[in-house]
Amino acid sequence: MYREVVAVLEAIKAGKLPEAASKLDELGPHLEGNLDMLLHIGAAMRQLGREEHLQWTLSMAQHVHPNDEQVATAVAQLGTGA
């Protein structure tokens, strides 16, 4: 999962936004078991203009995993109030 997230971030940095978006879409179903990647995936979502989806993802992660430190960090840094 880490390599895939790095590939998304590198594609964004290179300006290959359609490629980054496609790779990000492939990662979506695998996020549940990789909450340590939530912050990075959230940052990629923001850079791709997916703010509404980002906020929904953070809200759901917080609801399902209310005591998870990785989720709390992502919400603190990427949440609406961030």
Q: Report the distance separating Cα 63 and Cα 65, nearest Å.
A: 6
What's the maximum distance between 2 C-alpha atoms anywhere in the chain? 36
Per-residue pLDDT band for 81 (boundaries 50, 70, 90) equals low
Per-residue pLDDT band for 71 (boundaries 50, 70, 90) equals very high
| Mean pLDDT, residues 6-11 taken together | 92
Q: Could you tell me the fold of the domain covering 2-78? A: 1.25.40
Can you spell out the DSSP letters for 29-54? Answer: GGSTT-GGGHHHHHHHHHHTT-HHHH
Helix axes 38-47, 51-64, angle to 10 degrees: 160
